Structure 1
Amino acid sequence: MTPSVWADTAADLHRHFDTVVAPLWLGAGFDARMGLPHEALDQSGAPLPDVRYRAMACARQLFVYAQSAGNAAQAHAARLFDALPRYFHDRERDAWLFSVDAQGRALDPTQDLYTHAFLVLACATYFERSRDERALRHMLATARLVEDRFGDGDGLYYAALSADGQPVRGPEQNPIMHLTEAYQAAAGVAEPAWFEQALRRIADGIARRFLDPDAQCIAELPLGAADNRIEPGHQFEWYSLLQNAPRVYEGLALPAAVTRGCLWARARGVAPDTAGVCAALDLRGGMREATERIWAQTEYARYLALAGEHEALARQLARFKERFLHAQGWREVIAADGALMRADMPSTTPYHLMTAYAALRA
């Protein structure tokens, strides 16, 4: 494909986001009664019944609309920011709830690292756009909470704590990866030296405890854990994060290893005919889960764009548009043959679309 065809496809993706995806959550996807985004819509764009609202989902929506153009998007971002502490901050314990129920009452008081990472990211992004000092205070306070409560004593973090602060899940790659993303954003608005020092420590810990020496891929669980796996999409996501701040990671082992790991993941986890990225491989490269999730496709596109692989990117974008997008929204999970495997459209997915499309613009 020629560069002009690639540009045309990218323009179509941006247009679909601006005219289909983003408006969904300003309208039918927003629960005006609660002042929170619905958790998911059906394939026609109608909201599914809410049994819970998650802090992480609200934070991801804030991330999207804080960066969107127009007065309506900025007003929506302000609503979402106000909702986060109103529903999810437990002032008595100075903790963030994982979720509330359909009436807005505390449902799951688990202190979840993944959730905290997205709170830091969303507040950093909102502060950068709005200069609302409350967002900066929440960002810094949440980062301090992560450091004070979640540290595992070996340079990384527990994935979850109980309501009273006891570890209930050990370190996991995914929440630590998103904490990396959050700390990069935070370093752009406050205390860069502190956040950059934390980012180097995290990268060292990931290389030491999660990096498979043969595949050069980052496993989902620490090396030696039972039932471990490699998710190709996360290799591409790590590549993009490390490329975001090359100066911060200068001299560390992780960037070169992840570059090699992406090649390993592409050879085993990306279908040559459709460019579809599978969900998971085992540590030897065997197929563990062949379904294809939309977020992994967006991370592959972002990786190809940042790596400058324009021909592969042109092919991938065309197949992604054809297989995952439609006039009312998107397909969240499909089988390798294209059959729809999950019928809902979660409120968390626009975050993935936006980060990938931003790389295409760059």
Structure 2
Amino acid sequence: MKQAAWADTAADLQRHFDTVVIAQWLSRGFDARIGLPHEALDQSGEPMPDARYRAMACARQLYVYARLTGEQAKAHAARLFDALLRYFHDERRHAWVFSVDAQGQVLDAAQDLYSHAFVVLACATYFARSRDARALQHMLSTARLVEERFGDGDGLYHAALCANGTPVKGPEQNPIMHLTEAYQAAALVAEPIWFAQTLRRIAEGVAQRFLDPQTQCIAELPLGTADNRIEPGHQFEWYSLLHSMPQVYEGLNLPAAVPRGCVWARARGVAPDTEGVCAALDMNAGMRDGSQRIWAQAEYARYLALTGDRPALGRQLARFKERFLHARGWREVLGADGALQRADMPSTTPYHLMTAYAALRA
């Protein structure tokens, strides 16, 4: 694809994001009755019934609108930040609940690392935009909570605690990756030395316990765990995170290995005819899940942009636009045959689109 065509496609994607995605979550995607984003819209852009509202979903929406310019986005980010505190912050336990029900009452009081990571990320991003001291306070207190309660005693973190704080899940790659993302954002607004030291410890722990020596990929579960898997999309996501702060990771094993893991994942997990990224491979490169999720396509686009592979990026963006986007939104999951496998458009997906499109602009 020629440079002009590549740029035209990227511009089309950004316009779609601005005029369709961002606009719909400001209007029909926001439940004014309760003051929280709906969990999902259907393919026509109408809200689907909400059985619950999750802290992580609210935090991801806050991250998106806190990064946008303009007074409308600024006001909506403030609304989302207030909702995050009002519904999900448990002042008694100094923690964040997983979800509330349709009336805003606590539904699941479990504490999961994934949600806490996105709270840190959202608060860091919102503070950078608003300078609201409450956001900085909650960013720092939540990071401290993570270190005190989720640590597994071996340099990494439990994935989940029950309501009373007892660990119920051991370390998992995905929440640790998003905690890395959150601490990187936090380092830009406060305590850069502490966050950098912690990020180096996390990277070393991931390399020791999740990095497969054969593929150079980061597995979803600690090495040696039965029924483990490799998700190509997460290899590309890790590449972007490590690429964003090279000075923090200088001399460590993980930033040296991840580019090689991405080459392996790209060769085995990306369909050459559609440029579609599969959901998961097994540890021997067999197809574990051939479905294609939009977030993995977005992370692949970000990876291609950061590596400067513009011919591949041009092909991938064209197929992505054709296969995953439509006039009222997007297709969340396609089968390997291209058939739609999920009819919903979750409120969490704009976060992935935003990070990918930011790399295209850069």
TM-score (norm: length of structure 2):
1.00
In the TM superposition, 1:69-108 aligns within 5 A as: 69-108=69-108
Residue 132 of structure 1 corresponds to 132
Residue 203 of structure 1 corresponds to 203
Does structure 1 residue 190 correspond to structure 2 residue 171? no
Superposed CA deviations along residues 93-137 of structure 1, whole A, max 9, x for unmatched, are 111100000000000011000000000000000000111110000
In the TM superposition, 1:1-362 aligns within 5 A as: 1-362=1-362
d(CA) in 1 for partners of 2:98, 2:298: 26
Identity percentage over the alignment?
79
Query: SS at 2:257's partner residue?
Result: helix
Query: SS at 2:249's partner residue?
Result: coil
Can you give the 5+ residue segments of structure 1 that lack an aligned partner in the other structure? none
Deviation at residue 91 of structure 1 after TM alignment? 1.0
Deviation at residue 140 of structure 1 after TM alignment? 0.3
| One-letter code aligned to 2:330 | W
Query: SS at 1:247's partner residue?
Result: helix
Can you give the 5+ residue segments of structure 2 that lack an aligned partner in the other structure? none
d(CA) in 2 for partners of 1:259, 1:157: 24
d(CA) in 1 for partners of 2:335, 2:96: 36
RMSD (CA atoms): 0.4
Deviation at residue 69 of structure 1 after TM alignment? 1.7
Deviation at residue 189 of structure 1 after TM alignment? 0.2
d(CA) in 2 for partners of 1:227, 1:144: 33
Superposed CA deviations along residues 139-160 of structure 1, whole A, max 9, x for unmatched, are 0000000000000000000000
d(CA) in 1 for partners of 2:293, 2:166: 33
d(CA) in 2 for partners of 1:59, 1:94: 17
Deviation at residue 84 of structure 1 after TM alignment? 0.7
Query: SS at 2:288's partner residue?
Result: strand
Deviation at residue 26 of structure 1 after TM alignment? 0.4
Deviation at residue 361 of structure 1 after TM alignment? 0.4
d(CA) in 2 for partners of 1:65, 1:147: 28
d(CA) in 2 for partners of 1:85, 1:12: 36
d(CA) in 2 for partners of 1:110, 1:159: 11
Deviation at residue 7 of structure 1 after TM alignment? 0.2
**Matched length:** 362
